[in-house]
Amino acid sequence: MLEELESLEADSAKLEWLLNFVDSHVFPQDPIPVKPMKEKSKSTCLLHFDRDKEGGFINQYYAVNKEKVDGRKNKLESLIEIAIHEVRHRVQREKDIKRITRKSFREFDNKYALFKDKDGRKLSDIIDEIYPNFGLYQYDAKLIGIVSQVLFRKGVSLKDIVEKIVRPDAKMVMENLRVLLEKQ
């Protein structure tokens, strides 16, 4: 599976592959397409959707800013973080899940110390410093993306990350994360 991904030359092609992989595993009955971003944007990637008269989601797709993605050198785990972040937004909207809060993740991080940088700062401290003003919707998606990136670096398979971290609600994510960390 990763051999196919790594054989792709352009980072935008890798991101498209990852979006398709993650989305089709989380939403096997209803995956949505990946398209190039139509207009100039600061965003690398986003989940596009329109609403119908009843408030439902229509015309959904992931939009990739190929110019921006291919214009910089990306590590594979950075592309994984981007893809998982965007699919998590779809999970938030369509599965009506309970999201991870700053407080619940800080408590988890204090207990299990998922990651520490060279200065000894925990992941929860780093995320709070970089993204102090993120609301719950954005915090949950960003956190899931970053945690997935850390797990991938630690050798957890992409399939396990998608199944155990991207799809479930907050309580199950924390439990699955604890179990994955104990295996490391």
pLDDT band of 181, cuts 50, 70, 90: confident
pLDDT band of 52, cuts 50, 70, 90: confident
Average pLDDT, the chain: 91
Report field, pTM of the whole predicted structure over 0.75:
yes
* Angle CA 103–126–81, to nearest 5: 95
Query: How far apart are the C-alpha atoms of 105 and 63, rounded to whole Å?
Result: 29
